[in-house]
């Protein structure tokens, strides 16, 4: 029997007037309040499940998640393909649906998860966009950020994103108390609210101290968050993205100019200098080593050096 309830995950979320199946609602509450998924992830999962419910209703006349049909799911995948949706989007939606049915099984509401038999679409693997060490030195040391509060903050933000490999959401959510100059490290809360410690070097510590002095003098000392605007409001993830983009335009050769490019550069340049793969994994906060291995690609310089050393006609 179909059951609908009003979804009210948090007061500020966009689902306040949305109605959906009760089992879907329970699942969304579970991933937000028990698994500590971000509100952005919960919203994406809600959209995916609403799309699936709409498709099933159109095909069968009703939606009952306790009666899963693998053929219906295959039909949903086919429809997404006909709509020319990206393979990555289809894969994400199937992963969402698989998690939903895994939840229903753990709750004892269904006996098996049929989606375990459904292969996810293959997504072409692309190399991450990254910035070489020389270009990063130019971006951090030679760009004129200005000497006002925003310039000092932006200079630190760019350096910190590169020096720590933080995600933009992690930089936005960084608390002032978690930046500890005495222990030379900062505490980051990543996906699933998991905490990790990242060491910081003396140059970054100097920028941190300078920024704190300016922030406390011009914004005040009441702020809980580390990065703020001049009015005291904490930076949002999209604000971090826009600030990173503002300065990455100084490197026109980049095909992408978001904050994540600095995270890619952190990992790539560390591995190029001989860092241990497992150590980089922990610093990035990756759940699996496979996510980190994408950064083990060879740079053009590495390829040339390998060619010169190994090819008999190049000696």
Residues designated catalytic: 167, 191, 260, 263, 286, 295
Q: What gap in Å lies between CA 155 and CA 71, rounded to an integer?
A: 53
DSSP assignment, residue 118? S
> To the nearest 5 percent, what fractions of the chain are helix, strand and coil?
55, 5, 35
User: What contacts 203, CB < 8 A, 6 or more positions away?
Assistant: 159
Return the number of other C-beta atoms located less than 10 Å from residue 94's C-beta.
21
Integer angstrom CA distances of residue 294 from 21, 86, 138, 244, 262: 38, 20, 25, 22, 15
Q: Where are the beta strands (DSSP E) in the chain?
A: 4-6, 19-21, 179-180, 185-189, 195-199
The tokens describing 105, both together, are 């099984």
User: What contacts 106, CB < 8 A, 6 or more positions away?
Assistant: none
Integer angstrom CA distances of residue 264 from 156, 162, 292: 18, 8, 10
Integer angstrom CA distances of residue 257 from 155, 175, 177, 250: 16, 26, 30, 10
């Amino acid at each position: 029997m179909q059951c609908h309830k009003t979804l009210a995950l948090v007061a500020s979320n966009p689902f306040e007037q949305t109605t959906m199946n009760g089992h879907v609602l329970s699942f969304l509450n579970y991933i937000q309040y028990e698994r500590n998924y971000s509100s952005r992830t919960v919203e994406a999962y809600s959209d995916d499940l609403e799309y699936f419910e709409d498709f099933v209703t159109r095909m069968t006349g009703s939606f009952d998640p306790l009666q899963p049909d693998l053929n219906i799911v295959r039909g949903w995948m086919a429809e997404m393909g006909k709509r020319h949706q990206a393979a990555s989007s289809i894969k994400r939606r199937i992963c969402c649906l698989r998690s939903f049915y895994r939840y229903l099984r753990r709750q004892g509401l269904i006996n098996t998860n049929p989606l375990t038999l459904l292969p996810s679409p293959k997504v072409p693997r692309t190399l991450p966009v990254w910035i070489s060490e020389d270009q990063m030195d130019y971006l951090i040391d030679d760009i004129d950020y200005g000497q006002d509060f925003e310039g000092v903050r932006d200079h630190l933000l760019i350096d910190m994103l590169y020096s720590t490999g933080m995600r933009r959401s992690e930089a936005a959510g960084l608390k002032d108390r978690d930046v500890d100059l005495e222990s030379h490290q900062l505490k980051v809360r990543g996906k699933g609210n998991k905490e990790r410690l990242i060491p910081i070097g003396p140059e970054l510590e100097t920028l941190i101290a300078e920024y704190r002095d300016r922030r406390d003098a011009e914004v005040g000392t009441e702020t809980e968050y580390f990065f703020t605007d001049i009015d005291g409001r904490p930076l949002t993830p999209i604000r971090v993205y826009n600030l990173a983009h503002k300065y990455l335009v100084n490197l026109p050769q980049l095909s992408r100019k978001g904050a994540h490019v600095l995270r890619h550069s952190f990992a790539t340049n560390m591995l190029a200098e001989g860092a241990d793969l497992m150590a980089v994994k922990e610093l990035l906060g990756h759940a699996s080593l496979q996510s980190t291995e994408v950064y083990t690609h060879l740079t053009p310089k590495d390829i040339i050096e390998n060619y010169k050393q190994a090819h008999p006609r190049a000696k």
